[in-house]
């Protein structure tokens, strides 16, 4: 049963429910590999993977690197500072060079929405989107959905609240697209500047009072909030954000005991999430990180057509 | 022997002279003439065709001087001829910008040598298109500009815009404005709405255009002098202009073909050939713009022909320059959408929007088939179904979203001063 025919993963918006389920099921099969003493399968042996990160990232790049190594691929990391883009070479030319260097898989992190798709349409290599501007971060969306499905055994009918800077969040978009396709009820929570009402056209609910969602939520996914850089006109300051939207101890106490607390990391303790809540029993933040490896193994394996998936 | 041309069997549509009849048209000495001048040395059979004044496009980027890798006066005017245009108005955002008499003179001299249709120049409103100091309107006027604009840029300082409009009045020059409020639009790339949210692209809201349209209405009123709003894209702008014109304010608006043919949903594949400024908007905007054309609110149709080299356009969408080519496609799009599909206007009105209206706005001695007028003529086949192939385009650049699109109607022959400069290959 293979409902996967794609060479690339550029976003969850273009996948159907069967394709998403296929990747989640494949990830479940790969998760066992990480529990072995010998954490390696030969699925991508002889394949070359380039982590091409034009925007800084440690967490996602490392996760892809570990995933690729566990599949026995050879891995090269290229960062923005070392890349020719700094010298004025276009993204297209840089990518064509990577293909000429016989990269089978290019994992791209880039500030421009659509950049992964841009390469996917022009290269024979598999392109995996590791974040394209504010557009999508599909493997993060998949690992969040994987974690939820692992806990609840399903996605359909669950109330998932995503809290924070939705407007600029690729993580939020991939979650929204994936969760809706699998039948979840998605609520976006945050300041009206960062969560405009027009998001409802995507099929979600928009709420500006976090207290209104706490009792019903099966999952609360808190996004990292930034104020220091370009968000100054969007909300007055972090203090007011914490007061209005932070998952404080008092708010966490109103959650159902079964409600999962998630965060794509890196967390700001005391800002979007109280420090004790982040470490509490309902938090699955570190499980998300672990699941990220299995999900990325599944994505790399499915797109790059390896062999030797563990049964 | 003197050349005398007779165009026979056509339907002559000449809105400037309120003509729409089956008639022959005579040309001698490069001018429209009466039938009695002598025996025809050339006869053009226009059976089944419309014979109209050559079309005028007041919004074209010819890219010379300085950007000849995108387009040249030679290639751009060939594209104009292939679209049925005999007069085009060049925008001033060249390198250097057309903010001095020297640059205008350079363009006019190059056009005299290389252009196959009439090239008219606009001068910049501000020095260097920077929006800070007025360009020398007096010497620009003497050098022959037909209007003033900072197109591609928008003067943000209302006081400078006010003085520009007041000062331009002394020369009878219309000020044309690219309406964009920078603080609201920011780094916006596409219409702010469902699709910008879905794609994670920075939004360019309607209000970013409407604020400047409203500003221009107020300044046109204050100065009692005309302001022309370029490439209107938003439903709210149409409403503002309609209300102001009803009060007698000297405000006008123009429409580009892509703004009635495509919506923001076409950005879904991140194709930079759908990235232009102002951006593609929604069906609601398209409907409002078409209504505005039909009820006389919007009086000018144009291309905003904006060629860019493929290596410039084939980059990440937020790095790509705004703009698409349009000289060869616009008449067909407007005809197909406005006359054929939507029946919003009839063919004579469509031709007026391309001839007598722009001629009146910029006080041009073109856009008419009156006796003695320059014999700038287009033959149009309104029933011809055809497919646009960008690889056949005369433009140096191929940045079009319309490759492979089908429309009904197009120019089939373009005549400038009595000479055929282009005809549809058979």
Please report how the helices A59-70 and A285-304 are oriented relative to each other, as an axis angle in degrees rounded to 10. Answer: 50
Over range B273-290, report the average pLDDT: 98
Residues B1, B21: Cα–Cα separation, whole Å: 31
| Least confident piece of the model among A92-101, A157-166, A282-291, B94-103 | A92-101
Partners of B379 in the beta sheet? B51, B413
Residue B376 lies in a domain: no
Interface probe, candidates A92, A93, A113, chain B, greatest B C-beta count within 10 A: A113
Q: What is the CATH number of the domain that holds B130?
A: 3.20.20.140
User: What's the predicted TM-score (pTM) here?
Assistant: 0.95
Residue B321 lies in a domain: yes
- pLDDT for res A3: 80
Are A135 and B194 an interchain contact pair (Cβ–Cβ within 8 Å)? no
Q: If we measure between CA atoms, which residue out of A271, A272, A270 comes closest to residue A261?
A: A272
| Least confident piece of the model among A70-84, B29-43, B115-129, B236-250 | A70-84
Residues B153, B158: Cα–Cα separation, whole Å: 14
- What is this model's ipTM? 0.94
Residues 6+ apart with CB under 8 A from B407: B329, B332, B333, B335, B336, B385, B386, B388
Choose among A92, A118, A170: nearest Cβ to B200. Answer: A170
Find the closest chain A residue to B311 by CA distance: A90
Residues B301, B255: Cα–Cα separation, whole Å: 5
- pLDDT for res A95: 87
Residue B331 lies in a domain: yes
For chain A, give the longest Cα–Cα distance: 56
- pLDDT for res A58: 86
Rounded to the nearest angstrom, the minimum Cα separation between B318 and chain A is: 6
Over range B189-198, report the average pLDDT: 97
Find the closest chain B residue to A174 by CA distance: B198
* Residue A2 pLDDT grade (very low, low, confident, very high; cuts 50, 70, 90): low
Choose among B194, B199, B314: nearest Cβ to A135. Answer: B199
Residues of chain B above pLDDT 70, percent: 100
Residues of A in contact with B194 (CB under 8 A): 198, 201-202
* Residue B265 pLDDT grade (very low, low, confident, very high; cuts 50, 70, 90): very high
Sheet of A260-262, strand order: A205-207, A185-189, A159-163, A219-222, A260-262
- pLDDT for res A232: 75
Number of domains in chain B: 1
Instruction: Verify whether residue B385 is a known catalytic residue.
Output: no
The residue whose two tokens read 């089978």 is A104
Give yes or no for a contact between A271 and A225, defined as CB atoms under 8 angstroms apart. yes
* Residue A84 pLDDT grade (very low, low, confident, very high; cuts 50, 70, 90): low
Over range A3-31, report the average pLDDT: 96
Rg (CA), chain B: 20
Choose among B200, B314, B315: nearest Cβ to A135. Answer: B200
Residues B231, B82: Cα–Cα separation, whole Å: 22
Residues B400, B1: Cα–Cα separation, whole Å: 44
- pLDDT for res A200: 97
Residues of B in contact with A115 (CB under 8 A): 316
Give yes or no for a contact between B161 and B132, defined as CB atoms under 8 angstroms apart. no
Please, what is the average pLDDT of chain A? 93
Are B269 and A112 an interchain contact pair (Cβ–Cβ within 8 Å)? no
Backbone angles phi, psi at A266, to 5 degrees: -75, 140
Rounded to the nearest angstrom, the minimum Cα separation between A212 and chain B is: 24
Taking the CA atoms of residue B211, residue B212, residue B214 and residue B220 in that order, the dihedral angle to the nearest 10 degrees is 170
Ramachandran area for residue B393 (φ above 0: left; ψ -120 to 50: alpha; else beta)? beta
- pLDDT for res A226: 77
SS (H, E, C) B194-238: HHHHHHCCCEECHHHHHHHHHHHHHHHHHHCCCEEECCCCCHHHH
Are A92 and B197 an interchain contact pair (Cβ–Cβ within 8 Å)? no
Backbone angles phi, psi at A296, to 5 degrees: -70, -35
Domain interval for residue B252? 51-362
Are B270 and A118 an interchain contact pair (Cβ–Cβ within 8 Å)? yes
- Per the residue annotation, which of B177, B264, B304, B336 is the catalytic one? B304
Q: Which two tokens stand for residue B349?
A: 């009105």
Are B317 and A112 an interchain contact pair (Cβ–Cβ within 8 Å)? yes
| Least confident piece of the model among A229-238, A239-248, B384-393 | A229-238
CA–chain centroid gap for B96, Å, is: 22
| Least confident piece of the model among A233-237, B125-129, B377-381 | A233-237
Are B316 and A135 an interchain contact pair (Cβ–Cβ within 8 Å)? no
* Residue A80 pLDDT grade (very low, low, confident, very high; cuts 50, 70, 90): confident
Walk me through the domains of chain A, giving residue ranges and CATH numbers.
Answer: 17-137+291-304 (3.40.50.1370), 138-289 (3.40.50.1370)
Residue B29 lies in a domain: no
- pLDDT for res A229: 60
Residue B134: CB atoms within 10 Å? 17
Are A117 and B194 an interchain contact pair (Cβ–Cβ within 8 Å)? no
Interface probe, candidates A10, A83, A114, chain B, greatest B C-beta count within 10 A: A114
Provide the H-helix boundaries in B83-173: 101-114, 137-143, 158-169
- pLDDT for res A310: 52
Interface probe, candidates A11, A80, A110, A118, chain B, greatest B C-beta count within 10 A: A118
Residue B396 lies in a domain: no
Residues of B in contact with A127 (CB under 8 A): none
Residue B222 lies in a domain: yes
pLDDT in tens, B98-126: 999 999 999 999 999 999 999 999 999 99
pLDDT at A309 over 70: no
Q: Which two tokens stand for residue A218?
A: 């099966």
Residue B274 lies in a domain: yes
Are B316 and A110 an interchain contact pair (Cβ–Cβ within 8 Å)? yes
Residue B187: CB atoms within 10 Å? 11
Rounded to the nearest angstrom, the minimum Cα separation between A113 and chain B is: 6
* Residue A57 pLDDT grade (very low, low, confident, very high; cuts 50, 70, 90): confident
* Residue B38 pLDDT grade (very low, low, confident, very high; cuts 50, 70, 90): confident
- pLDDT for res A306: 59
Q: If we measure between CA atoms, which residue out of B233, B232, B226, B231 comes closest to residue B248?
A: B226
Residue predicted with more confidence, A71 or A2: A71
Over range A33-46, report the average pLDDT: 92
pLDDT in tens, A227-241: 766 577 888 989 999
Residue B216 lies in a domain: yes
pLDDT in tens, A142-192: 999 999 999 999 999 999 999 999 999 999 999 999 999 999 999 999 999
């Amino acid at each position: 049963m293979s409902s996967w025919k794609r060479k690339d993963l550029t976003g969850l918006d273009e996948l159907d429910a069967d394709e998403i389920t296929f990747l989640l099921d494949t990830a479940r099969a790969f998760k066992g590999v990480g529990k072995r003493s010998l954490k390696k399968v030969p699925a991508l042996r002889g394949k070359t993977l380039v982590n091409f990160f034009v925007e800084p990232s440690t967490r996602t790049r490392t996760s892809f690197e570990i995933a690729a190594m566990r599949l026995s691929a050879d891995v090269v990391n290229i960062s923005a500072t070392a890349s020719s883009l700094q010298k004025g070479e276009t993204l297209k030319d840089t990518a064509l060079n990577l293909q000429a260097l016989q990269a089978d898989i290019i994992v791209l992190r880039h500030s421009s929405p659509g950049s992964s798709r841009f390469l996917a349409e022009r290269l024979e290599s598999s392109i995996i989107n590791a974040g394209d501007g504010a557009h999508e971060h599909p493997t993060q969306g998949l690992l969040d959905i994987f974690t939820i499905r692992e806990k609840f055994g399903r996605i359909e009918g669950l109330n998932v609240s995503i809290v924070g800077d939705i407007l600029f969040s690729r993580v939020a978009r991939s979650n929204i697209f994936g969760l809706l396709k699998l039948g979840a009820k998605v609520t976006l929570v945050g300041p009206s500047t960062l969560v405009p009402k027009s998001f409802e056209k995507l099929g979600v609910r928009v709420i500006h009072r976090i207290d209104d969602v706490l009792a019903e939520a099966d999952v609360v996914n808190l996004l990292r909030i930034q104020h220091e850089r370009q968000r100054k006109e969007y909300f007055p300051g972090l203090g007011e954000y914490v007061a209005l939207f932070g998952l404080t101890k008092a708010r966490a106490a109103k959650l159902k005991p079964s409600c999962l607390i998630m965060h794509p990391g890196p967390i700001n303790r005391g800002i979007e999430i109280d420090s004790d809540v982040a470490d509490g029993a309902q938090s699955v933040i570190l499980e998300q990180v672990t699941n990220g490896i299995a999900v990325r193994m599944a994505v790399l394996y499915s797109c790059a057509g390896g062999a030797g998936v563990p049964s | 022997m003197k050349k005398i041309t007779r165009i026979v069997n056509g339907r002559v549509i000449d809105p400037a002279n309120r003509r729409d009849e089956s008639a022959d048209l005579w040309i001698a000495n490069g001018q429209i003439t009466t039938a009695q001048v002598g025996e025809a040395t050339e006869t053009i059979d226009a059976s089944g065709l419309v014979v109209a004044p050559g079309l005028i496009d007041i919004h074209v980027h010819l890219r010379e001087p300085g950007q000849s890798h995108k387009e040249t006066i030679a290639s751009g005017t060939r594209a104009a001829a292939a679209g049925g245009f005999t007069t085009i108005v060049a925008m001033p955002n060249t390198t250097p910008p057309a903010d001095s008499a020297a640059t205008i003179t350079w363009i006019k001299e190059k056009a005299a040598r290389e252009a196959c249709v009439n090239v008219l120049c606009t001068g910049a409103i501000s020095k260097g298109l920077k929006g800070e100091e007025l360009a020398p309107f007096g010497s620009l006027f003497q050098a022959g500009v037909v209007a003033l604009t900072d197109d591609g840029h928008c003067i943000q300082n209302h006081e400078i815009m006010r003085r520009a409009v007041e000062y331009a009045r002394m020369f009878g020059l219309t000020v044309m404005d690219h309406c964009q409020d920078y603080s609201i639009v920011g780094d916006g790339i596409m219409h702010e709405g469902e699709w910008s949210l879905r794609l994670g692209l920075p939004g360019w809201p309607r209000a970013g255009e409407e604020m400047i349209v409203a500003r221009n209405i107020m300044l046109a009123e204050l100065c009692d002098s005309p302001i022309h709003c370029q490439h209107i894209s938003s439903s709210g702008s149409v409403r503002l202009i309609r209300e102001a014109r009803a009060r007698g304010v000297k405000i006008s608006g123009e429409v580009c073909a892509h703004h009635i043919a495509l919506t923001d949903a076409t950005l879904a594949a991140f194709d930079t050939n759908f990235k232009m400024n102002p951006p593609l908007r929604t069906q609601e905007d398209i409907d409002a713009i078409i209504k505005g054309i039909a009820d006389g609110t919007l009086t000018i149709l144009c291309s905003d022909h904006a060629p860019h080299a493929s290596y410039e356009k084939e980059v990440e969408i937020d790095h790509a320059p705004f703009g698409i080519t349009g000289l060869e496609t616009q008449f067909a799009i407007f005809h197909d959408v406005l006359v054929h599909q939507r029946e919003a206007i009839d063919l004579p009105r469509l031709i007026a929007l391309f001839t007598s209206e722009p001629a009146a706005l910029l006080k041009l001695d073109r856009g008419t088939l009156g006796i003695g007028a320059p014999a700038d003529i287009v033959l149009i086949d309104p029933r011809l179904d055809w497919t646009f192939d960008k690889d056949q385009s005369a433009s140096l650049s191929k940045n079009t979203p319309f490759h492979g699109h089908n429309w009904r109607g197009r120019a089939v022959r373009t005549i400038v001063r009595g000479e055929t400069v282009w005809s549809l290959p058979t």
